[in-house]
Every structure is written in C-alpha cells, then in structure tokens.
Amino acid sequence: MDLIWDGIREAFRLIFTGNGEVYEIVLLSLTVSGAATGMALVIGLSMASLLAFRAPPGRTLVLSFLNSGMALPPVVAGLVVAVMLWRTGPLGQLHLLYTPAAIVVAQAVIATPVVTALSAAALQTLHPRLRLQILALGASRWQAAWLLFREARLPLLAAVMAGFGAAISEVGATIMVGGNIKGSTRTLTSATVLEVQRGNFETAMALSFILLALVYAVNLYLTVLQQRRRAS
C-alpha cells in the first residue's frame, strides 16, 4: 500500500513543484496523441462517410478489415511504420524516424481503424434518406457532412474517445519509432516503461496517475460535448 501512496504523493509533487521534464512529457503526449487522433479523424470520417452513404461494392469486406484493424497489435503497426521510415525504407528520405512526427504516424495507424469502423457504424444508424433530405434542403456537400456528423454526434464522439484512448495508451509502437529520447520523443507511456525498468516505481506510478488524470480530463470534455442539450 505504501508504494501506491508514495506514488500518489510523488505525482502531486511532480505536478505542483513545476517539474519541467514532466510538463514536457505531458505536453508531448497530448500533442502527439491529439495530432494522431486528428489524422485518424480526417481519414476515418471521410472513409466512414463513403462507406455509409455511398455503399460502395465490397463494403462488408472493407468493414470487416476495419473491424479487425481495431484489434491491430500496436507492435505490428510500429514495426510497419518503422520499416517504412527506416533510413533505407520507402519514406526514409523524410528523416522522420525517432521524431515526434513518427510517433504521430504510428499512433494514427493504430487509431484510424478504430475511428473509421466506429464512425461508419455511427453514420449507418442515421436514416438512409436523411442525407437526401439535407441535400434537398439546399445543403452543399460540406454543409451536409457537417449536419450529418452533428446528427450522429453521440456515437461519433464515442469513436473519437476510443481513437484518442488507443493513441495515448499506446507504448510499443511509440518506443519503436520514437526511440524514447529524453526531451524529444519521451511520452507518458514510454517514460513509465523506462522508470519501471529502472525500479523507480514511485515515479512510474506518478506518471501513470498523470496519464489517467489526463485521459479522464479529455474524455470528460468530450463526454460533456456529447451529452450537451441540443442547441436550439
């Protein structure tokens, strides 16, 4: 029990004594996972709209791949991204390996199937003719997309939360493509792994508490957004 209390105490100390390194790690985790979720959203919502509203041939097959993609082992995603970004790999010219950008890509690869599959399911719950009705009201393509997303915002925000959760909780791929470099690519999860390996359980627990608090804060915000009374 002492270990847990020490961990909590250490967490508060790290947060409130203005530990620069911890702030840096928290900020990096948030920006990297936020950016990855953003990328996953752009790709996911476009694909989900296509799948839900255009009903392309092979939709069931694509959806089954995406649904399997939700269970994509992060290390596999990390390996693929690492090979792609490797100096001699197809995207080696970009020199992204061991940069925060590489982590964004890896986390986006993990979050995209989650966001896409859940968004497609969300949009498929809308009435099939609602899109036609909205277009008939005089909506442009973008206005129609916005209104349809707003109509499905409950399950869509659940998709965002799941995507963000998959991204920020990821560690294997993050270390593989980011390298866990202090001051550059160290995130809350990779730092926690490192501290455990070093036997610094208090610090590891402190970082974990911060991670949990962060995840809760983000999801609280999204949930409030989701459950907000319909604007009149």
Partner 1 sequence: MTRPKLGLRGVRVERSGRTILAVEELDVFPGEVLAVVGPNGAGKSTLVSLLAMLERPSAGEVLFDGEAVRGGLLAYRRRMAVVFQEALLLDTTVESNVGSGLALRGVPRAERERRVRRSLGRFGIESLARRSAHTLSGGEAQRTSLARALALEPEVLLLDEPFASLDEPTRRTLIDDLDRALSETGTTAVLVSHDRSEALRLGDRVAVLIDGRLRQVGQPSEVFAAPADEEVAAFLGVETIVPGLVRSLDEGLAVVEVGGGHVEAASTLPAGSEVLVCLRPEDVVVGPAAAPTAATSARNRLSAVVRRVVNTGPQVRVELDAGFPLVALITKQSLEELGLAEGSPVVASFKATAVHLIPRHAQRGGPSA
The residues binding partner 1 (CB under 8 A) are 127, 129-130, 132-140, 143, 147, 150-151, 230-232
Number of CB atoms found within 10 A of residue 128's CB: 10
- Residue 54 vs 87, nearer CB to partner 1: 54
Q: How far is the CB of 74 from partner 1 (least distance, A)?
A: 36
- Residue 27 vs 132, nearer CB to partner 1: 132
- Residue 87 vs 129, nearer CB to partner 1: 129
- Residue 87 vs 141, nearer CB to partner 1: 141
- Residue 75 vs 147, nearer CB to partner 1: 147
Q: How far is the CB of 46 from partner 1 (least distance, A)?
A: 20
Q: How far is the CB of 129 from partner 1 (least distance, A)?
A: 6
Q: How far is the CB of 127 from partner 1 (least distance, A)?
A: 6
Q: How far is the CB of 150 from partner 1 (least distance, A)?
A: 8
